[in-house]
Structure 1
Amino acid sequence: MAERERSLRTEGVVLRHSDWGEADRLVILFTREQGKLRAVVKGARKLHSRKAGHMEPFTRVSLMLARGRDFWIVTQAETVDAYLPLREDLVRTASAAYVVELLDRFTYEEGQNLGLYQLLVESLHRLSSVDAPQTVLRFYDLRLLDLLGFRPELYECVRCRQPIQDEDQFFSPQQGGALCPRCGRLEPGLWPLSRRALKMLRFYQRSTYAQVRSAAFSAASHAEMEGVMQAYFTYLLERTLNTPGFLRTVRRGA
């Protein structure tokens, strides 16, 4: 086996971890060089482990990995950015957990994806700043869908293919886009989509983060857009995400 295959220097973000064996920890990482991968941190659960503090969720780390029998082994770890504000505010913690869960559910160990890695790092940085978490998350939703090939159709009816007019519409998670009122009345189980929420979805889909950050949308439009996105994610993943409910509970408490 070649030397380059036996070791790997990489940068990544810790998505989650779990106990492994008597004293080790299995971590799920999304890395810049290899995409998603699993690695074991030997002795991470011991009291004086030097690596454990670098391998907490939402932490961006520089790593040296060695190939083990089943998983990579973390031989060196150094924190690049701990995103400390995420750990000091429960709403931001829950928002970061949402970002990480969504990426984790949609990805497999299938190699490098620089676009997804950059989106992940930028989103955690934005959540650590003064930016409104709702704005960060909705921008993340639309960009993630673009990068994964699930961009929702918002400009023409996905059933009759006529241009969408400036009026209330419907959204079909199954068909991946908006339906005009005429077609929407013919199909059960669709999500109502107000003209305000449709404008917001379109704006987020076509704009840069700097543009959406400076825009003003009502709390009702944000909530409606969030509901549409969660319905779409539930259909694509064939399961409900865990973090949106937790995030709503935290927001009410805050």
Structure 2
Amino acid sequence: MTSPRTYQTQAIIIKQTKLGEADKIVTLYTLEFGKLKAVAKGACRPGSKLGGNVEPPNYSLLMLARGRNLDIITQSQTMDGFSSLKGDLWCISCGFYILELIDVSTTEGSPNEPLFDLLLDTLKNLSPSNGDETVLRYFELQLLHHLGYRPQLHKCVVCSSSLKPGLNFFSPGQGGVLCPGCNHAEFASRTISIDALKVLRLWQDCNYSTASRVKMSSKLSSELRQLMQEY
């Protein structure tokens, strides 16, 4: 049975590049198909009906026609343009950082509905009134979970013993936390504070509403940033 010539999908615009003088290649993260690239013909022309709807980080409803190499966007409707996000430098910077993470960590043609929902919710949660980095760290941790790289935070990744309060180590290469007895130089680990471990454990299994209520010092925020960037 052949696939329909045209299809509709919800998509978050990740990025775009020019194709010739008038067209764009648009990278999308879609609900039904995961990441894909499509052509927006005439999107660079003034007054184009497609142009504004295929700008990152818009959330749009798209109609596409199957093409020989890349599918073609034929119709578009913006469902959320994230105007408050675009009006704030910190928010838009965070938004593009999140889109870049999605782009580099996913492959085309691998649908992941929970990841789509996470991306959409995170973009909605970015606001000028929420200027701390909780939204970023929560997204990074949940992204790892949805991609199958969830760090082990409840027991030592080497000996499987329960972690005791006190000195423990975080090893990106080993995929989680090491107890003092299993920590070795070749694991390239770093110490993890009790507070950081508690926060990461909470964020692994709670929704964003709960995560956002955690009050963090600048020291703890910096530690979490370094831990997630190294992972």
Measured against the shorter chain, the TM-score band is over 0.9
**2:148 alignment counterpart:** 149
Residue deviations 1:68-125, cap 9 Å, x none? 1111101111110000111111111111112111111111112422111111110000
- Post-superposition shift, 1:131? 3.4
RMSD: 1.6
Structure 1 equivalent of residue 80 of structure 2: 81
**Greater CA deviation, 94-103 or 121-130?**
121-130
> Is 1:182 matched up with 2:181?
yes
Partner of 2:157: 158
Q: Secondary structure at the match of 1:47?
A: coil
How far 1:192 sits from its partner (Å)? 2.1
Shift in alpha-carbon separation, 1:73–1:133, aligned structure 2, 3 A: farther
Q: Which amino acid aligns with 1:63?
A: L
User: Conserved in 2, the CA contact under 8 Å of 1:34 and 1:112?
Assistant: yes
| CA 1:119–1:133: 2 relative to 1, 3 Å | farther
Return the letter of the residue paired with 1:14: I
Provide the secondary structure at the position in 2 that maps to 1:49: coil
Q: Give the TM-score normalised by the residue count of structure 2.
A: 0.94
Task: Tell me if the contact between 2:171 and 2:177 (Cα under 8 Å) persists in the aligned partners.
Answer: yes
Instruction: Give, as a single letter, the amino acid of the residue that structure 2 aligns with 1:117.
Output: F
Higher mean C-alpha deviation, range 32-41 or range 46-55: 46-55
In the alignment, what sits opposite 1:39? 38
Whole-Å separation in 1 of the counterparts to 2:173 and 2:118: 26
What secondary structure does 2:156 align onto?
coil
Identity %: 39
Partner AA of 1:60 in structure 2 = Y
The range that moved more, 6-15 or 184-193, is 184-193
| Cα pair 2:88 2:128 within 8 Å, conserved | no
- Bigger mean CA deviation after superposition, 191-200 or 87-96: 191-200
Q: TM-score scaled to structure 1, two decimals? A: 0.86
> Across the two proteins, how many residue pairs are aligned to each other?
231
Instruction: Indicate if the aligned counterparts of 1:116 and 1:144 stay in contact, CA closer than 8 A.
Output: yes
Q: Report the alpha carbon displacement of residue 128 of structure 1 after superposing the two structures with TM.
A: 3.5
* Aligned mates of 2:127, 2:92 — CA distance in 1: 9
Amino acid across the alignment from 2:122: S
Shift of 1:52: 0.8
Structure 1, unaligned runs of 5 or more: 233-254
List, as ranges, runs of 4+ consecutive aligned residues in structure 1 with deviation greater than 6 Å.
Answer: none
Which structure: greater helix fraction? 1
Partner residue in 2 for 1:67: 66
What residue ranges of structure 2 are gaps of 5+ in the alignment? none
Q: For 2:187 and 2:152, locate their aligned partners in 1 and report how far apart those are by CA, in whole Å.
A: 19
**Counterpart position of 2:218:** 219
Does the aligned pair in 2 maintain the 1:92–1:133 contact within 8 Å? no
Separation in 2, partners of 1:195, 1:131: 25
The 5 A counterparts of 1:60-209 are 60-128=59-127, 130-187=129-186, 189-209=188-208
